[in-house]
Structure 1
């Protein structure tokens, strides 16, 4: 479908044409609280990939659960850094776009972005200026205002909490004192939170990895270290693309990653990528997102 020149298209029509792009951007900046400016670049990157031959990137991305969408956005930022900084990531990070490759079911290495960085820079900049700034601007401003208001509220809450604390409790030395020394009872609140003991692992599409394989691999290599394992919930005939592993101790993650941000393993001949789980800040009560304009979507 041909798009008429933008000067002859009303804002409402333009938004309707880019409905799925607006919906995806809203998920990134409103639901996942990602940076609005960076996320606009992420959307532009995905739209550029569609223009150079990778089909339905936005539509496929829109179908992902939040945790995978967030991971995919992180991979997009890695690609943008390669494009903008003119520097290819180290070989140890060569699979940092594994989820993106699984999603589009085509070979799309980081080397591709490095070799095509000039055309990618020009193409992405053009999409930002001609598409994103017009189609996504209202959502971006809404997210920026929401984030500023939340930041102010958080600062006020911290200040209020600090003022309410008795002076005797301020500045207690922590080094050299255990909980028993301070006369505090040991409760589950004193333990390391599960999120800080969780690792996120992703699998290649088309090479299913099963729960028992993951359990067996890490137990054999690192002993009885797993507290719980949560595979992505899928239909019986579908493949899990990710899992969360909660360890008994946060030190297990440090030992497994061995100082790297991301590690690659081979489980029964199938590639698995692992990184520390970093939960994004999600709100149960969110301001109303900008209204989507059409119940149907149009292609680019």
Structure 2
């Protein structure tokens, strides 16, 4: 197997090595310092993205650095799903291996990518992603990881085994007709201020399929028809006139609308005018307090 180390036969100083990986270090810093993601997990996420670049998906890191922070956080979540997928030995259905499960990663790439790609390259990915962690990421980002670890209170555990990937944490497909059946249980109207609910806690993140543009008027029409006057504000991705928005955020008037939409799962799939959209609760920038309570511990090598 070809080595992924960027160290040539001549000596390369740590400063030169860091300079070569400057944008990788920038993105890793954003993940662990700005977004407060688990430093060990984030290093494996970086290794996956670098592996994709080696596989012909060009400028992955550079593209991500141009995105809003909350979107980078969502992409990192999809990367974790990919890592769990290649670590799993479980046979998965065609629906599970489709690009529907990683819509943001699929939209970011210039060519098609889905869980099927990771399935076809699973064994190689295990070996090569681990090699990138050990030979590239540890050296290029180890000092940042050490700095980030100082900010976390880690729970007393020494290992973490990735579970077999599930179909996107209980993804459900919901049509307008099915959603209407729940509408009677949802009392929308006034802004949900009586309980002091912050707008972030009334917000959902929506992604669209690349090549199937969904417009703001379609979103408003669908949710107003299905759930009544429920939208406080809707924010589509800001793009050029000839480009497609790939994501949006909706702030609902009441937090309970989110519960009705998700109906007990973490991600819901809707069809709007024949085009698929995926909705999940918006996760704002993580706080150190949250991470101290929920931080998972991953081994240095993902596949140990």
The question of whether the paired residues in 2 share the 8 Å contact of 1:88 and 1:111 is answered with no
1:64 to 57, 63, 67: 67
1:246 to 247, 251, 255: 251
TM-score scaled to structure 2, two decimals? 0.73
* CA distance 1:12–1:6, shift in 2 (3 Å): farther
Structure 2: gaps spanning 5 or more residues:
155-191, 289-304
2:126 to 106, 121, 133: 121
Q: C-alpha displacement at 1:251, in angstroms?
A: 2.3
When the two chains are superposed, the root-mean-square deviation of aligned CA atoms in Å is: 2.5
Whole-angstrom distance in 2 between the partners of 1:76 and 1:4: 26
Instruction: Compare 50-59 and 201-210 and name the one that shifted more.
Output: 201-210
Q: C-alpha displacement at 1:87, in angstroms?
A: 3.3
The question of whether the paired residues in 2 share the 8 Å contact of 1:82 and 1:88 is answered with no
1:220 to 214, 222, 225: 225
The question of whether the paired residues in 1 share the 8 Å contact of 2:96 and 2:115 is answered with no
* CA distance 1:251–1:62, shift in 2 (3 Å): same
Whole-angstrom distance in 1 between the partners of 2:194 and 2:39: 34
1:74 to 74, 77, 86: 77
Q: C-alpha displacement at 1:282, in angstroms?
A: 5.5
Aligned residue for 1:135?
140
The question of whether the paired residues in 2 share the 8 Å contact of 1:233 and 1:240 is answered with yes
Q: C-alpha displacement at 1:205, in angstroms?
A: 3.5
Q: C-alpha displacement at 1:88, in angstroms?
A: 5.9
Deviations 1:187-228 (CA, angstroms, capped at 9, x unpaired): 947332222221110123443322111111111122222222
* CA distance 1:138–1:4, shift in 2 (3 Å): closer
Structure 1: gaps spanning 5 or more residues:
150-186, 284-300
Q: C-alpha displacement at 1:241, in angstroms?
A: 2.2
Q: C-alpha displacement at 1:127, in angstroms?
A: 0.3
Give the secondary structure class of the aligned counterpart of 2:101: coil
Whole-angstrom distance in 2 between the partners of 1:88 and 1:261: 22
Aligned residues: 245
Whole-angstrom distance in 1 between the partners of 2:241 and 2:210: 15
Does 1:231 find its partner at 2:211? no
Give the secondary structure class of the aligned counterpart of 1:190: coil
Aligned residue for 2:274?
269
Whole-angstrom distance in 1 between the partners of 2:103 and 2:193: 36
The question of whether the paired residues in 2 share the 8 Å contact of 1:200 and 1:275 is answered with yes
Q: Which has the higher helix share?
A: 1
Residues 1-300 of structure 1 mapped to structure 2, 5 A cutoff? 3-5=6-8, 8-87=11-90, 91=95, 94=98, 95-148=100-153, 188=193, 190-281=195-286
Give the secondary structure class of the aligned counterpart of 1:48: helix
Whole-angstrom distance in 2 between the partners of 1:34 and 1:93: 26
Whole-angstrom distance in 1 between the partners of 2:282 and 2:41: 21
Instruction: Compare 241-250 and 35-44 and name the one that shifted more.
Output: 241-250
Q: C-alpha displacement at 1:83, in angstroms?
A: 1.1
Whole-angstrom distance in 2 between the partners of 1:200 and 1:37: 26
Q: C-alpha displacement at 1:148, in angstroms?
A: 4.2
* CA distance 1:15–1:252, shift in 2 (3 Å): same
Q: C-alpha displacement at 1:12, in angstroms?
A: 0.6
Whole-angstrom distance in 2 between the partners of 1:234 and 1:60: 15
Give the secondary structure class of the aligned counterpart of 1:47: helix
The question of whether the paired residues in 1 share the 8 Å contact of 2:97 and 2:116 is answered with no
Give the secondary structure class of the aligned counterpart of 1:233: coil
Q: C-alpha displacement at 1:258, in angstroms?
A: 2.4
Whole-angstrom distance in 2 between the partners of 1:66 and 1:207: 24
